[in-house]
Amino acid sequence: MRIVSEKAEKQFPSHTEIGMEVQGRVHCHGFFSQHQHNRETLDDLIYDLCAYRDALPATSDYILSGRI
């Protein structure tokens, strides 16, 4: 069993942590505003999800670190 520092673990969120973050972001954008068209809400959600994805290590990084 490999011991990984807390800092390293935070750099590699778990499968569950990523899922919870995605669900939270979708849920947050799910409260549609009366002052914003749903198309704009969708654009905002997609932007947020892409930004979150880009902030995460790539799948290959998870594999190389032994987390997958």
**66 or 31, higher pLDDT:** 66
CA dist., res. 24 & res. 7, Å (int): 23
pTM of the model: 0.76
- pLDDT of amino acid 9: 58
Is residue 51 situated within a structural domain?
yes
For range 22-37, the mean pLDDT: 83
Give CB contacts under 8 A, 24+ apart, made by 11-15.
11/57, 12/57, 12/61, 12/62, 12/65, 12/67, 13/56
Is residue 27 situated within a structural domain?
no
Is residue 11 situated within a structural domain?
no
Is residue 50 situated within a structural domain?
yes
- The domain of 59 spans 38-68
- pLDDT of amino acid 7: 53
Is residue 13 situated within a structural domain?
no
Number of domains in the chain: 1
Burial class (CB in 10 A: 0-12, 13-18, 19+), 56: middle
Tens digit of pLDDT for each residue in 2-14?
A: 454 455 556 899 9
- pLDDT of amino acid 43: 92
